[in-house]
Structure 1
Amino acid sequence: MNLLIDIGNTNLRWTGYGDGVSWSVQVVRHSGGVPLDLLAAWESHPAPARILVSNVGGEAVAGALCRVTRAYWGLEPEFIRTRAEQDGLRIAYADPARFGVDRWLTLIAAHAEARQATLILDAGTAATFDLLLADGRHLGGLILPGIEMMRTSLLAGTRIPRIESEPVGDPWAADTGTAVAAGSVQALAALADRLFDRLAVESGDTPRLLLTGGDAERLRPALDRPCVEIPDLVLRGLARLTGRSSAC
């Protein structure tokens, strides 16, 4: 049994993976450390053979994770690093170290599941877009503030009141607070539609749109193009690396 861990900017996702092990993804907010409910869950967890980690959440949470896994199981986590080429996937970045490991793992998972042109939208604290051709060539991508970051940055510089409810129905709004809430969603959805259409032209085929990340459910109703929501896409990419003697 392997332990797969995806440390994002806000949340930590994890699951066991291996023969006879059910795929059951758990999600906690990490706040730069290992939260108590996760410590409790792992205290009775069987010792894994390996611990594979995707970390974009920073050094503090990585250090805390190492202390916990050493104390519980005497194991060091394997922090995955981006590679220029992997299983037919070739990233566009000249320097692989500058390409987020979470984005790389979503590409690995997408390319393994289907050899098809694919647009991946990871809607989290930041929103990332990555374009992939059927032959495994990564065209590049875009990064924007996520839904909450967009709203927070605008409200911090204005006197507009914050509206907690989510916009429904029309993509426009009839009051200012709701217009901010709707605008953050519609901006990401409109860019997804634009990139989807450009990828269709670039690839000469109809691409897939894969939606992942903590805000995927909030964003999905605003998308005009057909999409498949896969909340655990980073973990699926980690699972593809478990058969290697060294995944780092």
Structure 2
Amino acid sequence: MNLLIDIGNSNLRWTCHGQDCAWDMAVVRHSGGVPLDLLAQWEQLEPPERLVVSNVGGQEVADALERVTRALWRRAPEYLRTEAVFGGVRIAYEEPLRLGVDRWLALIAAHELCQQACLIVDAGTAATFDLLLADGRHLGGLILPGVEMMRKSLLMGTRIPRIEADPAGEPWATDTAPAVAAGSLQGLASLATRLFDRLAAEAGQSPRLILTGGDAERIQPALDRPAQLVQDLVLRGMRCVVDAGA
């Protein structure tokens, strides 16, 4: 059994992978460490053969993870690194390591999943958009603040009242705080539409839109293009890498 661990800016996702293992993703907020409830779950596991990790959450959580895994299983985590070419995917960045490993793994998973042009939207603390052609060629991408970061940055510089909830129904609002809430969702959704249409023109066919990340379900209702929600996309990419013997 292998333990696959995806550490994002805010959340940690994990699952067991191997023969007779159920593919069952779990999600926790990590806050720069390993939460006690996660530690309690891991204490119930059989010692994994490998601990394979994607980490964009920083060194603090990486250090905490290593302390825990060495204490529990006397195993050190193995951190994946972005490669220029893998599994038919060729990334656009001239310096591969400047592309976040989570985005790289999402590209690998998306290519395996759909075998056609696709737009990958990862709506997390940051919102990333990556464009992939059917032949595995990565065209590049864009990064914006995520929903909460976008809202907080605006509230910090204005006297707009605190936002209590996401808007429902119409894509616009009739009060100031709801207008900020709607704007954060509609802005990301509108960019997804623009990139989807540009990718369709580039590929010569309608692409797939794959949506993942902690705020994916909040953004999905605002989209006006069909989207497939795949919350374990990065973990699927990790599975591809492990199964390939890396």
Matches within 5 A, 1:115-154: 115-154=115-154
- Paired amino acid for 2:50: R
Query: Structure 1: which 5+ residue stretches go unaligned?
Result: none
- 1:208-248 superposed Cα distances (whole Å, 9 cap, x missing partner): 00000000000000000000000110000001111344x3x
Q: 1:92 corresponds to which residue? A: 92
**Is it true that 1:227 corresponds to 2:222 in the alignment?**
no
State the partner residue of 1:189.
189
Residue matched to 1:16: 16
In the other structure, the counterpart of 1:238 is 238
1:55 is the counterpart of 2:55? yes
TM superposition score normalised by structure 2: 0.99
Q: Deviations over 1:181-223 (max 9, x none)?
A: 0000000000000000000000001100000000000000000
**In the aligned structure 1, how far is the partner of 2:68 from the partner of 2:43?**
10
Q: Following superposition, which runs of at least 4 residues in structure 1 exceed 4 angstroms of deviation? A: none
Residue deviations 1:79-104 (CA, integer Å, cap 9, x gap): 00000000110000000110000000
RMSD in angstroms over aligned alpha carbons?
Answer: 0.7
Q: Distance in 1 between matches of 2:103 and 2:30?
A: 20
Supply the distance in 2 between the matched residues of 1:98 and 1:162 (Cα, whole angstroms). 35
- Distance in 2 separating the partners of 1:9 and 1:164: 23
C-alpha deviation, 1:44, in angstroms = 1.5
Distance 1:115 1:44 in 2: 38
Alignment of 1:54-93 (within 5 A): 54-93=54-93
Classify the secondary structure of the residue corresponding to 1:160: coil
CA distance in 2, matches of 1:6, 1:243: 16
Counterpart residue identity of residue 154, structure 1: L
Task: State the match for 2:2 in structure 1.
Answer: 2
**Corresponding residue number in structure 1 for 2:167:** 167
Partner Cα separation in structure 2 for residue 78 and residue 101 of structure 1 = 13
- 2:37 match: secondary structure: helix
* Distance across 2 between alignment mates of 1:242 and 1:117: 24
> What is the one-letter code of the residue matched to 1:156?
M
Matched, 1:218 2:215: no
Q: What do the CA deviations read for 1:87-124 (whole angstroms, capped 9, x no partner)?
A: 11000000011000000000000111221000000000
Partners of 2:213 and 2:94 lie apart in 1 by: 26
| Counterpart for residue 156 of structure 2 | 156
Once the two structures are superposed, what CA deviation does each residue of 1:16-54 show, in whole Å capped at 9, x if it has no partner?
011110011111111101111111111111111111100
Q: How does 1:188-207 map to 2 (within 5 A)?
A: 188-207=188-207
Percent identity between matched residues is 68
Find the aligned partners of 1:77 and 1:112 in 2 and give their Cα distance. Answer: 25
AA aligned to 1:38 is L
Structure-2 separation of matches of 1:113 and 1:153: 35
SS in 2 for 1:107: helix
**Partners in 1 of 2:113 and 2:230 — Cα distance?**
12
Amino acid in structure 2 at the alignment position of 1:142: L
Distance 1:183 1:73 in 2: 47
Q: Match of 1:208?
A: 208
| CA distance, structure 1, for counterparts of residue 114 and residue 228 of structure 2 | 13
**For each residue in 1:129-154, what CA deviation from the matched residue of structure 2 results, as whole angstroms up to 9, or x when unmatched?**
00000000000000000000000000
